[in-house]
Amino acid sequence: MLIPASTALIIILTHFSSSAAAASLCRTFCNNIPIRYPFGIDDGCGAAPFRRMLNCSTAAGLFFLTPSGSYKVQSIDYGKKTVVLYDPSMSTCSILQPHRDFLITDIQSATIPPSPDTLFLLLNCSLDSPLLNRYRYLCSSNFSAHSCDELYATCTSFKLFHMLSNSTASPPCCFTTYDTLRYMSMNILDCSHYTSVYNVDALKGVGPLDWLYGIKLSYSLPDLGCDRCSKSGGVCGFDVDTQGFTCICSFTTNATTDCGGSYVNRGGKSNGTPSVVGVAVLICRALFLSLPTL
């Protein structure tokens, strides 16, 4: 390889500035939370099935949008493919607040439902609740040996139920999975309050004061070819009209698979000749491959 150093430098700079351009079309952070595939906060970024699920504002932070409202995103774990949400209007061991249903769309329920280790704790259920009768089987009477009585006894917020109850027994409660709430609203379930707890597998011997309150979602996604695009320096996105996969290479170039090959123009037509960026990427690769021998 006999490329003058200055040319190589220009080519490298071209390559990196085009990656930077692609990255700036798609914001990679919302405050301190990294935003990566399959998520996107700018339209056309990320994977199409996850479109319009996140909303970012510097002042308020990152929110997960559902039909029942927006929920604050606490963290995203890209390795474990989980997202932890916190609903500030939910009751916890220390605050008692009126419930609102947690509803997600059909697409969300297919791509990013609450994880199996998230439990919903329905509290102060009426004796007529279907959960105490026909649908009794939907409740586990305890999890990791924790019981309703423990909640009513330990949590300052839930002690009220016990105090206001007429009999010596606390009002019934139910530990259940998200599916129960998905198919029956809180009004049908006839329980006045709820809270949700995640990482329940790790809560054996841990008291309610130390539980993790919130909702953990668990996402999955078929491989649409994002690896190949990112390895070529691109950012994975989708065409906002067709929802088809797009590899965003620079402000002016989008590719169907990766930034090393054929590009599509705005009109969506494919042209076989690699653009300047494509050539730069190819030369860069050749250069890097030849480095050990220099």
Ligand X SMILES: *[C@@H]1O[C@H](CO)[C@@H](O)[C@H](O)[C@H]1NC(C)=O
- Our CB check for ligand X shows the closer of 134 and 266 to be 266
Q: Please, what is the minimum distance in Å from the beta carbon of residue 108 to ligand X? A: 14
- Our CB check for ligand X shows the closer of 70 and 287 to be 70
Q: Is the peptide bond before 292 cis (omega within 30 degrees of 0)?
A: no
Q: Please, what is the minimum distance in Å from the beta carbon of residue 7 to ligand X? A: 26
Token couple for 178: 């998200």
Query: In what helix (H) or strand (E) does residue 196 lie, and over which residues does it extend?
Result: strand 191-198
Distance CA 221, CA 189 (A): 32
Q: Please, what is the minimum distance in Å from the beta carbon of residue 251 to ligand X? A: 7
Longest dimension (CA), the chain: 90
Q: Please, what is the minimum distance in Å from the beta carbon of residue 109 to ligand X? A: 19
Distance of CA 265 to the CA centre of its chain: 31
Q: Please, what is the minimum distance in Å from the beta carbon of residue 8 to ligand X? A: 27
- Our CB check for ligand X shows the closer of 24 and 57 to be 57
Q: Please, what is the minimum distance in Å from the beta carbon of residue 243 to ligand X? A: 10
- Our CB check for ligand X shows the closer of 166 and 187 to be 166
- Our CB check for ligand X shows the closer of 12 and 56 to be 56
Closest residue by Cα to residue 216 from 30, 67, 32, 76: 76
With a CB cutoff of 8 Å and minimum separation 6, the contacts of 2 are none
Q: Please, what is the minimum distance in Å from the beta carbon of residue 171 to ligand X? A: 6
Closest residue by Cα to residue 47 from 275, 289, 222: 222
CB of 45 within 8 A of CB of 237?
yes
Phi, psi at 137, each rounded to 5°? -65, -15
Q: Please, what is the minimum distance in Å from the beta carbon of residue 202 to ligand X? A: 15
Query: In what helix (H) or strand (E) does residue 237 lie, and over which residues does it extend?
Result: strand 235-238
Q: Give SS3 for 247.
A: strand
Residue 21 burial (C-beta neighbours within 10 Å; 0-12, 13-18, 19+): middle
- Our CB check for ligand X shows the closer of 26 and 217 to be 26
- The site for ligand X (CB under 6 A) is made up of 25, 44, 55, 57, 60, 65, 70, 124, 126, 141-142, 145, 147, 160-161, 164, 166, 192, 237, 239-240, 246, 248, 252, 254, 266
- Our CB check for ligand X shows the closer of 164 and 291 to be 164
Nearest residue to the partner ligand X, using Cβ: 44
- Our CB check for ligand X shows the closer of 6 and 168 to be 168
CA distances from 179 to 103, 175, 184, 203, 237 (A): 11, 12, 8, 21, 31
